[in-house]
Amino acid sequence: MYCSKSLLYIALGTSITLLAGCSTLNSSSTLPEASTHASLTTDVSEYQYLIGPGDTLNIFVWRNPDISGTFTVRPDGKVTTSLVEDIQVAGKTPTQLAREIEDKLSTYINNPRVTISVNSFSGPLSEQVRVIGEAMNPKVVNYTKNMTLLDLMIAVGGLTEFADGNDAKLVRVVDGKKRTFDIDIDDLIRKGNISKNVDILPGDIIIIPEAWF
């Protein structure tokens, strides 16, 4: 009995040491819960949507309806308006783009006021989330503010019957380097363990392997 307790204490001590040093690991490490997950990279509450190819923009120029209109962002990330040709819009927030267009229109219009809204969303590739492997519908999902792992799994239809959800990985760029984190999708969606829910960030990749029977 004494030996068993000693081994248990050693195992627990080893686990705590590994967790304390997880930020320096190159292999899989453990994500915190959704409420604290944002500290890994950026504050998800401050996320701002970035325009990308395929987006439909409604550009309204106050008191100038003739140069206002709806424009689709081309694959090269640009749009052409009535007075501004081939303006680069991909990778900018709607507010940033509005101020830039105002600056360009000031050559032709006195004190232009521009408002931009996005009617359909695609976003740049860096803003999209990819799910590959044993999801019912593996695909690229457009990131939305405050997206969680549960939201993402609903978007792809959940797991296949052959999925090993608790051996899934999340690949993320942190401080310019790719890191891999363990995620427990089985426990989240099949057992309802909400503590396994984590925040998803733009550019994340979820890899779901097949179970070995």
- Which domains occur in the chain, in start order? 26-46+125-208 (3.10.560.10), 56-120 (3.30.1950.10)
Residue 52: φ, ψ to 5°: -140, 170
Once rounded to an integer, what is the mean pLDDT over residues 29-52?
57
Residue pointed to by tokens 């709806």: 70
Q: Please enumerate in sequence order all residues whose Cβ is within 8 A of that of 97, keeping only pairs 6 or more positions apart, or say none.
A: 51, 57, 89, 116
Does residue 150 register a pLDDT over 70?
yes
Check pLDDT > 70 for residue 88.
Answer: yes
* Phi, psi values for residue 133, rounded to 5°: 100, -140
Mean pLDDT of 78-105: 93
The whole-number average pLDDT for the span 154-173 is 95
| Burial class (CB within 10 angstroms; exposed 0-12, middle 13-18, buried 19+) of 76 | exposed
22-31, 36-45, 91-100 — which one is most confidently predicted on average? 91-100
In the block, which residue shows the tokens 């680069």? 88
Q: Is the dihedral of CA 42, 44, 46, 52 positive or negative?
A: positive
Averaged pLDDT score across all residues of the chain: 81
